[in-house]
Structure 1
């Protein structure tokens, strides 16, 4: 009897640029607020809900279909981070709950810093560009926590500056993947490992 095997070829697009761009652009906007350029408004919250939030969750689900556990975990988690961030700002305005206490906000940021630091370890097997994104994001979360804990405006400004750099590094990494794929050669290097 003949042993017939069917092999499926994945011809779907790479969802990582969508996730990276959604994360990066939303992160830049929030951190322009953190350095004092403007207040949190509908622009940041809209980006947080729809691009930083929903687009990253969609990218994470697409990565799941491709079997990429790291990207599924990262994009889905950070997508829900942005949705939770928007909820933290919006829920107190509804009267359903109070604004977060300083200790709980610091704890929230520390937990995200620990999570991001753990994901950074995974980037050591992927690319130098992602190492930079996750290293700077880890530093950002801990600086934000320290700034909220100490109420030190200088630390808040430094955190915002790190956040802008982090966001632009994610934008670069996402665009590099798009451009390199289109041109079928390395135009914007990301430093793949291995």
Structure 2
């Protein structure tokens, strides 16, 4: 009898780069620019729309797809959702200009911002297993959505301006978290702390 040949076992290592910094910076930078507008510093213009399509939108969708490859359900859900949020927001502004649809009513915008606020609040609970920096990003984003809702419900421009300043802080925190991921990985130590949560 001849000994059977042992099976060949191939070990596949996932060497895909971490897409989270891309997604966080894309979200953060676009959020900061939009909310500088909301704070009253400049009008809605093509710069914001272009950022919403290409960086806040497409870049986050790409980051989410890569997160799927890395088996990160939270990253997939968050990045692809907010990527398409930016694309849908641009659509809400551009489609009426092209004559493709009627402009969204005030009630429709309240519903739109409210459902995104609820969605963000639910995702916030996922960050409780991740790190303090992401908790701040999702917590402040939840507040931002509901401030925008309050501004639309009351028609109070000062609430929207305040939401703009809060949105700048939210976006800046996302940029910080994204850059912290890059630098901490590059230097192999904590350059910018993100407050990792210790799990049992």
So what's the TM-score if we normalise by structure 1? 0.98
Task: Measure, in 2, the Cα distance between the counterparts of 1:9 and 1:22.
Answer: 28
**How far apart in 2 are the matches of 1:151 and 1:39?**
18
* CA distance in 1 between partners of 2:153 and 2:145 (Å): 12
Aligned with 1:88 (options 85, 88, 92): 92
> 50, 60, 80: which is aligned to 1:56?
60
Q: Matched residues in 2 for 1:96 and 1:79: separation?
A: 22
Are 1:141 and 2:151 matched, yes or no? Answer: no
Which shows bigger deviation, 151-160 or 54-63?
A: 151-160
Deviation at 1:26, TM superposition (A): 0.1
- Normalized against structure 2, the TM-score is what? 0.95
Task: Look up the match of 2:108.
Answer: 104
Give 1:41's aligned residue. Answer: 45
The gaps in structure 1 that reach 5 residues or longer are none
Structure 1 partner of 2:131: 127
Structure 2: unaligned runs, 5 residues or longer: none
The offset of 1:140, in angstroms, is 0.3
**Number of paired residues?**
194
How far apart in 1 are the matches of 2:120 and 2:7?
A: 46
User: What is the Cα-based RMSD across aligned positions, in Å?
Assistant: 0.8
Structure label with greater radius of gyration: 2
SS at match of 1:37: coil
